[in-house]
Structure 1
Amino acid sequence: MGRVVSRTDLSAREPYRTKVHRNLEALRRMVAEGRFAADELRTGVELELALVDEGMEPAMLNHAVLDRSASDLLTTELGRWNLEINLPPRTLPGTAACRLEDDVVSSIACARRSAAVVGATPVTIGILPTLGAEHLASDKLTDDPRYDLLNRQMVDARGEPFRLDIAAPSGSRDERLVLDVDSIAPEAACTSLQLHLQLTPETFPAHWNAAQAIAGAQVALAANSPFLLGHRLWAETRVPLFEQAVDVRPVELRNQGVRPRVWFGDRWASSVTDLFEENVRYFPALLPMVDEEDPLAELEAGSAPQLHELRLHSGTVWRWNRPVYDVADGVAHLRLENRVLPAGPSAIDAVANALFFYGLVRALVTLEHPPWRSMTFDAAYGNFVAGAQHGMDAQLFWPGMGTVGVDRLVLDRLLPLAREGLRAWDVEPSVAERYLSVIEARCRTGCTGASWQTQTVAALEKDGCPRPVALRRMLDRYISHMAGNQPVHSWPVTSDAAGVTAVGA
């Protein structure tokens, strides 16, 4: 999506279909002939930020902040209040994870310095709780031709307003948001932490299956998006919001079972090409642009084709675990992009979430009986929804354990596996313990970013604050704690009264 495009670039769909199927043919040949980068551990991290002003309202200043930044790691994102940090690829052995944390801290600090010049502050949070309906209009999208074009294409494909309809989980609270919007701007409300892992065609399917199997536990442990437009909804409201914000299906197509563009999937993978082929088979092109490259001719010449059409199309199918094809230094490689996690709360929390993921998938793919052999795909999806709805209060299914609480599943089964996986990656034991101890403490306290936010707002409301005021005050405290880079399970919950309540108590 980095290419500058205009509406006049859009080609007729039939030439596009022909070309994208030629891309698939080239990909299948490359897999069969082993034309990919060697099997080596390389990871990547993308972290999205929101900008707020002194009143904790969204600050539509991303270009102004970038104009004042010397960092080449910062870039724009969909909303005018968004920025993204793209950290360079790295390996994990030794103390590399600590350097990752240092890089996250320094990148946020760089953004903070640049934002301060224009009266803004960056925050890493799943959904900015002070967003209002007025911020979800098309004029709040970043001024960039690619975003404008994508918005226009998706609005045209939808043919009617996008409907946001999200209710708090049954039996927990009587809160519900229903809103029609005229653009894909609500997608920009979803700020996330995206993890990349380089793989080969042979290793990709098992790692993708592992990532799908643990998605419910991931989102439950990291939930950080309980508020949207003043409503307290899911622990990770970013999940239904993202699904609905770019859902180009009218009601009739949803009733027919047409797949949404934000998609968990419907089966375990046996080949990486299956996933790319599903993207082409099930989803109409939003940006049907045809490049001049002939991918098969590139293969015959001994070069790695760019597969422009396939890459652009797959970038508009937002799988929660997405296959990525790329070319670097003339060599093709495959990556697994894990999109489950929200941003924040602190840098150490983010790196703990990353190390838990990398360690756990490494351990799972080496098991003699991995979970996807005895777990239905529907059960994995059910875990994902339950984790997003209830956070640490979710009940999740796991083979050999049945349906259990998140804390028990993680402490008894997943955390020991994550430790084994990090050992297999040659991560320094003290470094692994620094981050996995954060995950353990979340389980023992029951505290996530979502629970801290909701308990803080509840304490403020009990002290007499109306919900909008409580959200602003909570966010102000959140930013202060975030800047101190202490894990969220150690953050105190306070109201305007003198009392202090421990999270999870």
Structure 2
Amino acid sequence: MGEEVEQQEFSRTDRTRHREKVRRNLDVFARMLREARFDTDDPMTGLEVELNLVDDAGDPALKNSEVLEAIADPDFQTELGQFNIEINVAPARLREGGLATFHDSLRRSLNNAEEKSAPLGAHQVMIGILPTLGEQHMGIGAISANPRYKLLSEQILRVRGEDITINIAGRERLSTTADSILPEAACTSTQFHVQTSPDQFAAYWNAAQAIAGVQLAVAANSPYLFGKELWRETRIPLFEQATDTRSEELKAQGVRPRVWFGERWITSVFDLFEENVRYFPALLPITDDEDPLEVLESGGTPHLHELRLHNGTIYRWNRPVYDIAHGVPHLRVENRLLAAGPTVADTIANAAFWWGLVRHLAESERPLWSQMSFSAAEENFHVAARMGFDSLVYWPGLGQVRASELVLRRLLPMAYEGLDQWGVPPEQRDHFLGIIEQRCLAATGGAEWFVRRMGARADEQREDALRATLLDYCDRMHTNEPVHTWD
């Protein structure tokens, strides 16, 4: 969800003071990295899932505040749109049965939440973009009550100086504008977290970047937006455009976007935070009273409020995270590429594949990123988002290869080894990676199933077909049978 902020106006003095404080935070962070004051002994993994809310007919239900009040569980939080909520699953260690723990905890929490929200006419759906969402749901009134969201929208529009333009060419074409960042709310995601030491952070982040395209190819779940069939993972271009602070002129000058794949392999986590400070002006220049150097020199752990808040407004697909637990700082890679669903089983399978593959690649003797260019990884990312299982991606030693074939031939064995390195129980490893294998063999993920089902309703009105297909999707989602087994 990001850090809580209060609604306020910012003066030029506020911005100057904030910039100086962020740079002071960065200097202290660099010193902390040198002095190794981080929790690295027994790494944790984590999971967050963003959900959509629909009514009984399958249309968006703008009721997140009522739903959260009914659920009354602090693990559930608001998100940008009133048709969104988020659940934060408690961190776990994979060697302690974490995959099953995540699966059982998430399913139990979602079933309990559904039981409490259904009487309100609001049902939870795990899908990247709600197919029944329309432009009529994009008004400023649909933003959640949390002041952070309205403030972010105002600041992005202020910096941009004009309405946000959405242009996406896929199987069909969409062109529209918005006077707020609410189209971002259409982009619900799953976030996988992995804790790592400062010394290993660069390897884990580089590995995550290198496999981003393959992740999308086998787990895409967002084929429709505003009634149009676009990319298999339409969240990617939509999110890139919905929070873009750049005018057309700034884009032409090569100014970097706030939703960013990046531009190079890194050698340290410091590279990412330093880029954040160097390239991006603050959207929320809120300055805390903490003196981070004074805290550090007195033996404490600085919160680095400004650096963390700034980091939260730069939307890398693999984001660096500095956090504190029980007074001890730690670092995490936050993977933000994928949509949730279609089922809890599919979601945990996607997580298992990522955790296993990233672990194996990060600890390989010859780094994958020494064998391929960063631009090749970025091209894989966008090609896979557009085409899903049909995408051809580049892989060292193979050249251009179909993504599903690459997973079956090369990457699944690596993921198996990576989960073994984590100490995952073999029965859990085999179960969840088996879902990925069967999905690749059937060439069927959430996006492919939805598009095929829509094809069977080609004679119906598009809006009616989308509602009916979404309700079919919801019925199957509740069975928790993986999507490749659906009819």
How far apart, CA to CA, are the structure 2 residues paired with 1:55 and 1:407? 35
**In structure 1, how many angstroms separate the alpha carbons of the residues matched to 2:67 and 2:365?**
50
Q: CA deviation at 1:94?
A: 4.5
Q: How does 1:74-473 map to 2 (within 5 A)?
A: 74-168=76-170, 173=171, 175-461=172-458, 464-473=459-468
Secondary structure in 1 matching 2:306: helix
Note the C-alpha offset of 1:365: 1.4
Instruction: Tell me if structure 2 keeps the 8 A contact 1:93–1:425.
Output: yes
Q: SS of 1:342's equivalent?
A: coil
Aligned length: 485
Equivalent of 1:478 in 462, 473, 476: 473
Q: Deviations over 1:273-304 (max 9, x none)?
A: 01000011111100011110010001110111
Cα displacement (A) at 1:221: 0.7
Query: Cα offset for 1:250?
Result: 0.5
Percent of matched pairs sharing the same residue: 51
Letter in structure 1 aligned against 2:471 = D
CA distance in 1, matches of 2:441, 2:167: 33
Q: Runs of 4 or more off by more than 6 Å in structure 1?
A: none
Determine the C-alpha separation between the residues in 2 that align with 1:3 and 1:479: 32
1: CA distance, partners of 2:178 / 2:398:
43
On the 8 A contact 1:41/1:92 being kept in 2, the answer is no
Q: Distance in 2 between matches of 1:110 and 1:77?
A: 19
AA aligned to 2:262 is: G
TM-score between the two structures when normalised by the length of structure 2: 0.98
Matches of 1:366 and 1:66, distance apart in 2: 41
Q: Which of residues 53, 57, 61 in structure 2 aligns to 1:59?
A: 61
Distance in structure 1 (CA, Å) of the matches to 2:185 and 2:413? 36
Q: Does 1:488 align with 2:473?
A: no
Letter in 1 for 2:162: E
Q: Deviations over 1:378-437 (max 9, x none)?
A: 000000001100001000111111110011110111000000000111111111010000
Distance in 1 (CA, whole Å) between partners of 2:244 and 2:98 is 39
Which residue identity does 2:134 align to in structure 1?
A: G
Return the alpha-carbon distance in structure 2 between the equivalents of residues 4 and 340 of structure 1: 26
Q: 1:308 to 1:94 in 2, by over 3 A?
A: closer
Following superposition, the deviation at residue 52 of structure 1 comes to 0.3
Alignment partner of 2:199: what SS?
Answer: coil
1:204-263 Cα distance to aligned partner (Å, 9 max, x none) = 000000000000000111100000000000000000000000001000000011111000
Separation in 1 of the partners of 2:116 and 2:278? 44
State the partner residue of 1:5.
Answer: 6
SS in 2 for 1:368: coil
Q: 2:423 & 2:136 partners in 1: Cα distance?
A: 49
Match for residue 36 of structure 1?
38
* Residues 80 and 182 in structure 2, CA contact (< 8 A), matched pair in contact too: yes
The CA deviation at 1:9 is: 6.3
Deviation at 1:330?
1.0
Distance in 2 between the 1:426 and 1:140 partners? Answer: 44
8 Å contact 1:371–1:398 — kept in the other structure? Answer: no
Deviations 1:459-499 (A, max 9, x none): 111xx21111110000000000000001000111xxxxxxx
The 2-side partners of 1:49 and 1:491 are apart by: 21
**Code of the aligned partner of 1:467:** R
One-letter identity of the residue aligned with 1:405: R
Distance 2:19 2:468 in 1: 52
Q: For residue 209 of structure 2, give the secondary structure of its aligned residue in structure 1.
A: helix
Mapped contact 2:3–2:309 kept (Cα < 8 A): no
- 2:301 and 2:463 map into 1 onto residues whose CA distance is 53
Alpha-carbon distance in 2 for matches of 1:183, 1:468: 24
Separation in structure 2 between the aligned mates of residue 51 and residue 407 of structure 1, nearest angstrom: 31
Given that 1:39 and 1:199 are in contact with CA atoms closer than 8 Å, whether structure 2 keeps it comes out as no
SS at match of 1:202: helix
**TM-aligned CA deviation for residue 264 of structure 1:** 0.2
Q: CA deviation at 1:71?
A: 1.9
Q: Please state whether the residue corresponding to 2:417 is helix, strand or coil.
A: helix
Aligned residue for 1:84, secondary structure, equals strand
Q: Aligned partners of 1:434 and 1:334: how far apart in 2?
A: 29
In the alignment, the residues of structure 1 paired with residue 5 and residue 260 of structure 2 have an alpha-carbon distance, to the nearest angstrom, of: 26
1:71 maps to which residue? 73
- Which amino acid is 2:404 matched to? D
Q: Deviations over 1:8-46 (max 9, x none)?
A: 466522111111000000000000001111232201100
Contact map agreement 1:66 1:114 (CA 8 A) in 2: no
Tell me, which stretches of 5 or more residues in structure 2 are unaligned? none
Partner secondary structure for residue 366 of structure 2: coil
SS at match of 2:71: coil
